[in-house]
Amino acid sequence: AQKITQTQPGMFVQEKEAVTLDCTYDTSDPSYGLFWYKQPSSGEMIFLIYQGSYDQQNATEGRYSLNFQKARKSANLVISASQLGDSAMYFCAMRGNTNAGKSTFGDGTTLTVKP
C-alpha cells in the first residue's frame, strides 16, 4: 500500500519569497515516482515536477525544486520567488512501478501568496 502525508493544510507566503511545502510518503515499491501538482480554483490538475526514486539529483523545473530525502521518505516542494498566481492547492502524489501507474495523492496544502 502507498500513503502520502501532507501535514500543512494551509500556508502563507509573502510575494517574492520562497516557500517549502512538506510531503512524506510510504511505499513497499522498490521503484517509484513522486509528483507535485497544482490545482487552482478552476479545478484542473497541473503537473509541476517529478522525482524518480533512483534519481541521484533533486529535480528542478524553473521556480520549482523538489527536496528529495529518500532515507527520510520525504519529497518537499520548494517554490522560489513566489508570485500571486502561485496561490492554489498543491498536491503531492506517488506512483509505483508495480501498481499499474495509479496515483496516490495526499490531502493537499492550500498556498496563499500575499502581496
Partner 1 sequence: DTGVSQNPRHKITKRGQNVTFRCDPISEHNRLYWYRQTLGQGPEFLTYFQNEAQLEKSRLLSDRFSAERPKGSFSTLEIQRTEQGDSAMYLCASSQRGGGYNEQFFGPGTRLTVL
Does 106 bind partner 1 (CB under 8 A)? Our answer is yes
- Rounded Cα gap, residues 64 and 19, in angstroms: 10
Does 36 bind partner 1 (CB under 8 A)? Our answer is no
Does 108 bind partner 1 (CB under 8 A)? Our answer is yes
Does 101 bind partner 1 (CB under 8 A)? Our answer is yes
Considering beta carbons, is residue 4 or 21 the nearer one to partner 1?
Answer: 4
Tell me the C-alpha to C-alpha distance, in Å, between residue 42 and each of 10, 39, 45, 108.
Answer: 18, 7, 9, 16
Instruction: Transcribe 6-50 into DSSP letters.
Output: ---SEEEEETTS-EEE--EEE---SSEEEEEEEE-TT---EEEEE
Considering beta carbons, is residue 43 or 115 the nearer one to partner 1?
Answer: 43
Q: Which of 31, 60, 69, 83 binds partner 1 (CB under 8 A)?
A: 31
Place of cell 513522486: 34
The cell for 98 is 508495480
Considering beta carbons, is residue 56 or 115 the nearer one to partner 1?
Answer: 56
* Closest distance to partner 1 from the beta carbon of 107 (Å): 5
Segment interacting with partner 1, rule: CB under 8 A, options 16-24, 60-68, 79-87, 89-97: 89-97
